[in-house]
């Protein structure tokens, strides 16, 4: 592959690591940072023997790049992206390429694509997953926007992406904000995966009284089966890590139980509302983080309505039931995320390939997992399926786990252990497989108080009744 010269703006940890990754694949990288000292430090630490060139101004950066220029922006999502674009524009020419590799909101990317195509700039909004390590060694890349820009940069992107057994984890996702949209859903699914794992851990530890050492073994065992994934693997590691501040026991036990969030999970939930595609497991995971945060309020509630903190359910074979509940819940959460992508793609005319989406998540990203091979295969065989959980590939997997799954959720409810994501997945599935939901009563109520009309099951048309 012919080497290229690319520009990179923003030398935070992700930007610096991505620059090093690109250079390590044989390309020259011209780096710029708003604070020049950061750029100089980067050069001091990494330039020796490598093809980096430091730029002190954006004008200098533009002058250093061959035509068409290709510049990757690794700055914080939101106004900083527009600020850099506006500052760069006077030095760019039609045909030049800008790539936003941050966690931008897909609607911002849509707007930027439209605005910049009017100026002849080819714009790519590219989801980048895998954290710092992924950026350096091979992330999963989700580029969307200008096809021309993608085709031009494809050799570079393929060279820096994670390599899975199914090929490099990058593909053109679709026009406009398609790339950032699937990155957002990736993060929503990431929230759900993490919450489901946390619930399984809580059930096993508080509910079934497993000691951390045994828990670590359980997660390691799980990591060699259907649940094999990065997040299960790191959970096993976390369950083996002793405190690093000199206290006795697990570090995990000293970590404050208030979960943070930067917002991409919340965006997925908002999008699910906008596109009217339910994602209850993802939403439950977002809510669970928010619920964890008012620790003081939770302590107050505990004092008012005390609950057993140590719960023993008894000793029947439990870990495999929890594993089954976790796996079935996971299938439902992916079904929701992919249904959201499918609907958005249809409404926005993005033409997103769901099998390819699962394929490029196979390696490099935070939700990487063996399971994604099955998701990809399911969508290759049934690309138009309305629901992943109902495909031939997965319906049997769900059916054989319903009993264990239900038992685990019921046991959790009885014990007062919150399992919002597992319960949301189970309720999602139960709603799907209920032949007659009480939505008829909702329709009757709507018609009663608002003359909203209803449809009947035995004849065509819209009906209104004078109820009183
Ligand atoms: C990734 C991650 C990455 C980051 C998110 C989640 O794919 O590499 O998703 O983008 O971890 O920002 O962050 P929060 O949990 O803080 O929302």
CATH number at residue 458: 1.20.5.320
Do 416 and 445 belong to one domain?
no
Per-residue pLDDT band at 1 (split at 50, 70, 90) = low
**So what's the pLDDT on residue 415?**
86
- Residue 425 pLDDT exceeds 70: yes
Do 446 and 395 belong to one domain?
no
**So what's the pLDDT on residue 350?**
98
Among candidate residues 130, 152, 176, the one where a domain is terminated? 176
Q: Which helix (H) or strand (E) holds 463?
A: strand 462-463
| Side-chain half-sphere exposure of 61, counting CA atoms within 13 A | 33
Q: How far is CA 67 from CA 92, 94, 101, 113, 119, in A?
A: 10, 10, 21, 20, 16
Residue 377 has phi, psi (to 5 degrees) of -65, -40
Do 273 and 222 belong to one domain?
yes
Q: Catalytic annotation on 343? A: no
Is residue 127 within 6 Å of ligand 1 at its C-beta?
Answer: no
Is residue 193 within 6 Å of ligand 1 at its C-beta?
Answer: no
pLDDT digits (tens, 9 = 90+) for 109-156: 999 999 999 999 999 999 999 999 999 999 999 999 999 999 999 999
Mean per-residue pLDDT of the chain: 96
Do 444 and 422 belong to one domain?
no
Among candidate residues 127, 158, 176, the one where a domain is terminated? 176
Spacing, Cα 71 to ligand 1 middle (Å): 23
pTM, two decimals, is 0.96
* Closest-lying ligand 1 atom to the alpha carbon of residue 191: 15
| Close Cβ partners of 420 (under 8 Å, ≥ 6 residues apart) | 195, 199, 284, 285, 287, 288
CATH number of the structural domain spanning residue 156 = 3.40.50.720
Site to probe by mutation for ligand 1, drawn from 190, 261, 270 as the one with most ligand atoms within 8 Å of Cβ, is 190
Is residue 139 within 6 Å of ligand 1 at its C-beta?
Answer: no
Spacing, Cα 167 to ligand 1 middle (Å): 24
- Residue 207 pLDDT exceeds 70: yes
Q: Catalytic annotation on 217? A: no
Do 145 and 219 belong to one domain?
no
**Which is more confident, 384 or 314?**
384
> What is the C-alpha to C-alpha distance for residues 143 and 294, in angstroms, rounded to an integer?
37
Do 297 and 259 belong to one domain?
yes
Residue 236, classed as helix, strand or coil, is helix
CB 353 within 8 A of CB 128: no
> What is the C-alpha to C-alpha distance for residues 248 and 177, in angstroms, rounded to an integer?
49
Do 54 and 147 belong to one domain?
yes
Give me the DSSP letters along 411-459. HHHHHT---HHHHHHHHHHHHHT-SS-THHHHHHHHHHHH---EE-SSS
Rounded to 5°, the CA angle 264-270-276 comes to 135
Do 247 and 118 belong to one domain?
no
> Which DSSP state fits 252?
G
> What is the C-alpha to C-alpha distance for residues 428 and 390, in angstroms, rounded to an integer?
12
Is residue 365 within 6 Å of ligand 1 at its C-beta?
Answer: yes
Is residue 140 within 6 Å of ligand 1 at its C-beta?
Answer: no
> What is the C-alpha to C-alpha distance for residues 404 and 324, in angstroms, rounded to an integer?
7
Is residue 18 within 6 Å of ligand 1 at its C-beta?
Answer: no
**Which is more confident, 33 or 306?**
33
Spacing, Cα 72 to ligand 1 middle (Å): 19
**So what's the pLDDT on residue 250?**
96
* Closest-lying ligand 1 atom to the alpha carbon of residue 264: 17
* Closest-lying ligand 1 atom to the alpha carbon of residue 265: 17
**So what's the pLDDT on residue 306?**
82
Q: Which of 177, 260, 15, 163 lies closest to 185, judged by CA?
A: 177
Do 230 and 83 belong to one domain?
no
> What is the C-alpha to C-alpha distance for residues 34 and 55, in angstroms, rounded to an integer?
10
CATH number of the structural domain spanning residue 354 = 1.10.1040.10
CB 359 within 8 A of CB 368: no
Residue identifier of the C-alpha nearest atom 13 of ligand 1: 262
- Residue 3 pLDDT exceeds 90: no
Do 445 and 408 belong to one domain?
no
Is residue 195 within 6 Å of ligand 1 at its C-beta?
Answer: no
- Residue 208 pLDDT exceeds 90: no
pLDDT digits (tens, 9 = 90+) for 80-115: 999 999 999 999 999 999 999 999 999 999 999 999
Do 112 and 154 belong to one domain?
yes
Q: In terms of residue numbers, what domain contains 104?
A: 5-176
Do 161 and 209 belong to one domain?
no
Give the count of domains, the chain: 3
| Close Cβ partners of 380 (under 8 Å, ≥ 6 residues apart) | 355
Spacing, Cα 103 to ligand 1 middle (Å): 8
Residue 130, classed as helix, strand or coil, is coil
């Amino acid at each position: 592959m012919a080497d290229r010269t690319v520009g990179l703006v923003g030398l935070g940890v992700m930007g610096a690591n991505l620059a090093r990754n690109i250079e390590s694949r044989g390309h020259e990288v011209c780096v710029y940072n708003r604070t020049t000292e950061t750029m100089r430090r980067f050069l001091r630490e990494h330039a020796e023997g490598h093809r980096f060139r430091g730029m002190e101004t954006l004008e200098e950066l533009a002058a250093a790049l061959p035509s068409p220029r290709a510049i990757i922006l690794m700055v914080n999502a939101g106004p900083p992206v527009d600020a850099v674009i506006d500052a760069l524009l006077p030095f760019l020419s039609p045909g030049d390429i800008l790539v936003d590799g941050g966690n931008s909101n897909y609607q911002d990317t849509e707007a930027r694509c439209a605005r910049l195509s009017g100026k002849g700039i080819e714009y790519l909004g590219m989801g980048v997953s895998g954290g710092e390590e992924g950026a350096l060694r091979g992330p999963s890349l989700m580029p969307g926007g200008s096809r021309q820009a993608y085709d031009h940069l494809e050799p570079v992107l393929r060279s820096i992406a994670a390599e899975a057994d199914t090929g490099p984890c990058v593909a053109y996702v679709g026009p406009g904000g398609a790339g950032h949209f699937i990155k957002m859903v990736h993060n929503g699914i990431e929230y759900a995966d993490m919450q489901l794992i946390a619930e399984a851990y809580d059930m096993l530890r508080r509910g079934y009284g497993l000691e951390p050492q045994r828990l670590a073994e359980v997660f390691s065992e799980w990591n060699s089966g259907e649940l094999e994934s990065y997040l299960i693997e790191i959970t096993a590691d976390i369950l083996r890590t002793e405190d690093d501040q000199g206290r006795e026991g697990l570090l995990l036990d000293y970590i404050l139980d208030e979960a943070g969030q930067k917002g991409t999970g919340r965006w997925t939930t908002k999008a699910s509302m906008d596109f009217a595609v339910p994602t209850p497991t993802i939403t439950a995971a977002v809510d669970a983080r928010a619920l964890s945060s008012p620790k003081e309020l939770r302590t107050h509630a505990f004092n008012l309505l005390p609950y057993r903190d140590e719960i023993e359910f008894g000793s029947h074979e439990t870990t495999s039931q929890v594993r089954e509940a976790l796996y079935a819940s996971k299938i439902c959460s992916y079904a929701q995320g992919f249904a959201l992508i499918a609907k958005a793609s249809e409404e926005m005319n993005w033409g997103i390939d769901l099998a390819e989406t699962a394929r490029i998540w196979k390696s490099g990203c935070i939700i990487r997992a063996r399971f994604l091979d099955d998701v990809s295969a399911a969508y290759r065989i049934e690309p138009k399926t309305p629901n992943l959980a109902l495909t031939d590939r997965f319906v049997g997997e769900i059916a054989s786990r319903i009993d264990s799954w239900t038992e685990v959720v019921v046991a959790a409810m009885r014990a007062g252990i919150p399992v919002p994501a597992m319960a949301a997945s189970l309720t999602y599935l139960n709603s799907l497989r209920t032949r007659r939901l009480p939505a008829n009563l909702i329709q009757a109520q709507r018609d009663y108080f608002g003359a909203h009309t209803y449809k009947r099951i035995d004849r065509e048309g819209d009906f209104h009744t004078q109820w009183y």
